[in-house]
């Protein structure tokens, strides 16, 4: 079941993101950051045990630009369409909010390509998106994520 995240989900989201970050899949996030951005998140809940098995956020940067971030699905639930549903929920919300573009920085460029995102030069994205990148040990010279954008 797909739903918006709740305050009671934050510690679970925190653990999932930081476990994934420890594997180099995404940047870590603090609890304070997650409480502040909770409205950005959708979660996918396994109905058999009511546990969160996937999550994704859409963060608004500017009047016409948002980012898909923190996409994660537990290993045992992958390849079931959960990630697709999470991203589609974020894109649907972006459309509802009249956003014109949504981007992602990802290692999963093939997956995002199937959803209509196209690769772009990172340098073409506005400087304001780099605030999270400054925290990354790979910034600026060793970033290996692919920048992709979807025009809505």
Q: How much is the pLDDT for 27?
A: 84
pLDDT for residue 138: 53
Q: What is the pLDDT of residue 136?
A: 56
pLDDT value at residue 125:
72
Per-residue model confidence (pLDDT) at position 10: 98
Q: What does the pLDDT read at residue 122?
A: 76
The whole-model pTM stands at 0.89
pLDDT of res. 135: 58
Domains of the chain in start order, with CATH, are: 2-151 (3.40.630.30)
Query: Which pLDDT value is given to residue 134?
Result: 53
Q: Output the DSSP codes for the chain.
A: -EEE--GGGHHHHHHHHHHHHHTTSS----HHHHHHTGGGEEEEEETTTTEEEEEEEEEEEETTEEEEEEEEE-GGGTTSSHHHHHHHHHHHHHHHTT--EEEEEES-HHHHHHTT-EE--GGGS-GGGGGTGGGSTTTTTS--PEEEEEE-
Give the pLDDT score at 62.
84
Q: Quick one: pLDDT at residue 137?
A: 56
Q: What is the mean pLDDT of each run of 10 residues along the chain (152 residues)?
A: 98 97 89 97 96 97 91 96 98 96 92 96 66 56 78 93
């Amino acid at each position: 079941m797909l739903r918006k995240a709740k305050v009671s989900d934050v510690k679970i989201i925190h653990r999932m993101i930081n476990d994934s970050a420890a594997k180099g899949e995404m940047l870590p996030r603090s609890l304070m950051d997650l409480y502040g951005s909770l409205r950005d998140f959708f979660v996918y809940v396994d109905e058999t045990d009511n546990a969160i098995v996937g999550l994704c956020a859409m963060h608004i940067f500017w009047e016409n630009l948002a980012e898909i971030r923190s996409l994660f699905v537990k290993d045992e639930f992958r390849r079931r369409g959960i990630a697709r549903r999470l991203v589609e929920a974020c894109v649907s919300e972006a459309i509802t909010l009249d956003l014109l573009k949504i981007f992602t920085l990802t290692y999963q460029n093939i997956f995002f390509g199937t959803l209509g995102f196209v690769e772009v030069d990172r340098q073409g994205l506005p400087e304001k998106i780099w605030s999270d990148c400054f925290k990354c040990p790979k910034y600026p010279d060793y970033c290996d994520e692919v920048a992709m954008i979807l025009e809505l």
